[in-house]
């Protein structure tokens, strides 16, 4: 594991495991549309797009290296693969959305990685997530009552296929919440090279 720049991070950094996402052209265009909906809707900065495999919350710094090793073990025999992105939705509901997301089509390889990560992390005494994992990529945060145009955009893209993205690396990420948005640092990167 490479040395971590801990400047600004506490002894218990917010941590998650994710796949970085480079948006296909169709999805990039949609994000530009989201950016034109006014101040209530704040699109995720392009290089922050990711598919979270597991949110770990605050973990002790001395667990970061074992977590990185667990990621390596969980993906040891996995080759790079592609994910299909489709459909647009919001959490928690269309009446009071807090985030806008694009879905990830069911993928056996991805499901296997998530399952193996859970097993490896439990060996580190990291409790399992209490909610079932659902593949989605957050595209925007909704900070206030959104304009009606957001509902129209959601309705027009409920079944849209946005294209595919390659998965060739899994990141261990540190997150620092700031007023202007989160700051992410890649603590470790595990390449899917087999």
Distances (CA, A) of 12 to 21, 58, 99: 26, 5, 26
Between CA 64 and CA 60 the distance in angstroms is 7
Of these residues, 48, 50, 157, 171, which one is catalytic? 50
Phi-psi region of 114 (alpha: psi -120 to 50; beta: other; left: phi over 0): alpha
Of these residues, 48, 95, 98, 136, which one is catalytic? 136
Catalytic: 50? yes
Distances (CA, A) of 140 to 14, 23, 67, 76: 20, 13, 28, 33
Catalytic: 98? no
Give the residue numbers marked as catalytic.
50, 136
């Amino acid at each position: 594991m490479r040395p971590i720049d801990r400047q600004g991070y506490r002894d218990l950094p917010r941590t998650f495991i994710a796949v970085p996402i480079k948006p296909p052209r169709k999805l990039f265009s949609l994000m530009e549309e989201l950016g034109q909906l006014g101040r209530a809707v704040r699109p995720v900065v392009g290089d922050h797009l990711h598919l979270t495999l597991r949110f770990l919350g605050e973990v002790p710094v001395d667990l970061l290296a074992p977590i990185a090793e667990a990621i390596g073990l969980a993906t040891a025999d996995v080759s790079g693969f592609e994910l299909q992105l489709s459909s647009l939705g919001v959490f928690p509901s269309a009446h009071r959305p807090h985030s806008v997301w694009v879905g990830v089509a069911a993928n056996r390889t991805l499901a296997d990685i998530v399952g193996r990560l859970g097993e490896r992390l439990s060996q580190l005494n990291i409790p399992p997530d209490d909610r079932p994992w659902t593949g989605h990529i957050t595209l925007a945060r909704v900070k206030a009552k959104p304009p009606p145009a957001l509902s129209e955009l959601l309705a027009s893209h409920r079944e849209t296929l946005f294209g595919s993205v390659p998965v060739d690396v899994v990141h261990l990420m540190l997150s620092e919440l700031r007023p202007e948005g989160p700051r992410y640092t890649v603590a470790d990167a595990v390449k899917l090279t087999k």
